[in-house]
């Protein structure tokens, strides 16, 4: 029964335009990072084109693989959290916006399977996007002929991007719960934007390591070396947030009947 539900969810995804739009949005990030690297490498030519090459030099960034990977990790972390919220809002909220929730909830299927299937679809969807981002980043860096490349560096940097993406995914169930509670797209996206703002504020304080939406950016190095800013219990906080979000979403789907 779960296999049928999961297959149906993937069929919905295949026929959706947002699948390709999300890939397009994520693919811009390595190109943007590559453009900044090129500006640092060619400041005079960039200045002639009006790309503010002198300001790029003053940013203290060197045009090499470590800097490019660091930039890619940080941008992918924040951009990934926003994209994950949009994906979760779409996967869970579309049932209410498109008036299909009443049909979904009337099927002779345990309702928790819908939650599990949708979360699995989001994981696979975002996992493919993250892997494609890493591959595109390697291609862009190779085309720019950035110095300082090594296999160990690429493996480590790719692992960091995957870890940051996984931490961002662990916050998805809370967004899914807001989507089912608000019955649409706007509530979960608004909630995520507010949480990211709060995460940015608290990330500058000692409380950031205990706030889920601060932990992922701190893990990506946006608040300094992660070993210095993160506590050993930070990932436990994220794990508990994931568990609470799944439980809340399952409870909401099981007990809140649709009144359409």
Q: Which pTM value belongs to this model?
A: 0.85
- 34: closest CA among 66, 72, 60? 72
Q: How far apart (Å, rounded) are the C-alpha atoms in residues 73 and 69? A: 6
Weakest mean pLDDT among 20-34, 169-183, 225-239: 225-239
Residue 43 lies in a domain: no
Residue 31 lies in a domain: no
Residue 109 lies in a domain: yes
DSSP label of 222: B
Region 140-147: mean pLDDT is: 92
pLDDT reported for residue 60: 64
Confidence class for position 3, pLDDT limits 50, 70, 90: confident
- Specify the higher pLDDT residue, 38 or 257: 38
Q: Is the CB of residue 243 less than 8 Å from the CB of residue 171?
A: no
> Is the pLDDT confidence value at 133 over 90?
yes
Residue 7 lies in a domain: yes
> Is the pLDDT confidence value at 119 over 90?
yes
Length of the chain, please? 260
Residue 24 lies in a domain: no
Residue 260 lies in a domain: no
Which domain range does residue 86 map to?
Answer: 2-18+63-255
Residue 29 lies in a domain: no
> Is the pLDDT confidence value at 127 over 80?
yes
**199's tokens:** 């995460």
pLDDT reported for residue 53: 47
Report the number of distinct structural domains present in the chain: 1
Region 14-20: mean pLDDT is: 79
Residue 30 lies in a domain: no
Mean pLDDT (the chain) is 83
Task: Show the 3-state SS of 131-192.
Answer: HHHHHHHHHHHHHHCCCCCCHHHHHHHHHHHHHHHHHHHCCHHHHHHHHHHHCCCHHHHHHH
Q: How far apart (Å, rounded) are the C-alpha atoms in residues 247 and 241? A: 10
């Amino acid at each position: 029964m779960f296999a049928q539900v999961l297959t149906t969810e993937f069929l919905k995804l295949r026929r959706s335009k947002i699948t390709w739009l999300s890939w397009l949005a994520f693919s811009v990030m390595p190109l943007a990072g590559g453009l900044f690297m090129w500006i640092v490498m060619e400041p005079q030519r960039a200045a002639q084109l009006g790309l503010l090459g002198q300001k790029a030099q003053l940013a203290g960034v060197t045009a090499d693989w470590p800097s490019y990977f660091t930039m890619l990790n940080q941008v992918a972390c924040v951009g990934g959290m926003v994209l994950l919220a949009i994906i979760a809002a779409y996967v869970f909220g579309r049932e209410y916006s498109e008036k299909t929730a009443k049909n979904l909830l009337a099927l002779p299927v345990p309702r928790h399977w819908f939650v599990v299937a949708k979360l699995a679809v989001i994981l696979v969807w975002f996992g493919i996007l993250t892997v494609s981002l890493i591959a595109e980043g390697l291609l862009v860096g190779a085309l720019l002929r950035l110095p300082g490349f090594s296999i160990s560096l690429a493996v480590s940097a790719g692992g960091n991007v995957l870890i940051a993406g996984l931490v961002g995914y662990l916050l998805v169930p809370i967004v899914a719960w807001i989507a089912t509670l608000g019955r649409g797209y706007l509530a979960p996206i608004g909630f995520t934007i507010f949480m990211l703002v709060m995460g940015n504020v608290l990330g500058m304080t000692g409380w950031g390591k205990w706030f889920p939406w601060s932990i992922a950016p701190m893990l990506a190095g946006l608040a300094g070396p992660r070993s210095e800013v993160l506590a050993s219990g930070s990932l436990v906080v994220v794990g508990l947030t994931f568990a609470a979000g799944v439980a809340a979403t399952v409870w909401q789907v099981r007990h809140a009947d649709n009144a359409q």
